[in-house]
Amino acid sequence: MKTRISVFLSLFIAFTYGQNIDNSLLHGLNFRSIGPAGMSGRVTAIDVVQSNTAIIYAGTSAGSLWKSSNAGTTFEPIFENQKTASVGDVAIYQKNPNIVYLGTGEGNPRNSQNFGYGMYKSLDGGKTWKHLGLEKTKSIHRVIVHPDNPDVVYVGAIGTAYGTSEHRGLYKSVDGGASWDKILYTNTSTGVADMVMDPSNPNKIMVAMWEYRRWPWFMNSGGPGSAIH
């Protein structure tokens, strides 16, 4: 249900961008699954082209990245034969939807979490991909592209669930992913759980940091590193 709601809200926001939303329009809605089914696994990330909401990208925990060009009637896998099949987040540059950034490694620290291999970028709507580094982050939970500059990208790494890592934190690139600077770091047990950008001021970003650790028999959630920045 959470996945289906996310798909609808993405489409709804795209249609009503810049307008006042009447919440009563959401009452009584019925949802249906639009896939991808079977081989996809858990859906971990969704983004929609705002100028053409029939184009949907859906990332999965271990079933790679899928794309629909017909509003979910059919999906095709577009991230095959890569070093990972686990997707943490996908972000489209809306002023040129052919530019797509992909953060790999599921960001939900389940006991069956799948690790990624850093950041990837496509300049042709997912037909081809280029690796952009950050492979040591293991799990990337959020990716945000500056709305007016596709070379400015923010990447939130939550990191591995089963150990400490100095590669957690918030990264920024100003050259389209050619290089990265870590701009927010707390400790080896705290990663980025979520982040949002102010739509009226792209220089304002809020980041949720989460300290956690998973063992085969126990999950430790929370700690002094957990905070909003």
In the chain, where the domains are located: 2-228
pLDDT at 41: 74
Radius of gyration of the chain (CA): 17
pLDDT at 38: 64
pLDDT higher than threshold 60 for residue 2: no
pLDDT higher than threshold 60 for residue 12: no
Backbone φ and ψ for 166, nearest 5 degrees, come out as: -80, 0
pLDDT at 78: 97
CA distances from 176 to 93, 121, 180, 184 (A): 11, 9, 9, 19
Residue range 5-19: average pLDDT?
Answer: 45
pLDDT at 114: 83
User: What CATH architecture is 2-228?
Assistant: 6 Propeller (2.120)
Q: How confident is the model at residue 4 (pLDDT cuts 50, 70, 90)?
A: very low
Are 60 and 87 in contact by the 8 Å Cβ rule? The answer is: yes
Residue range 126-132: average pLDDT?
Answer: 98
Q: What percent of the chain has pLDDT over 70?
A: 89
pLDDT at 42: 86
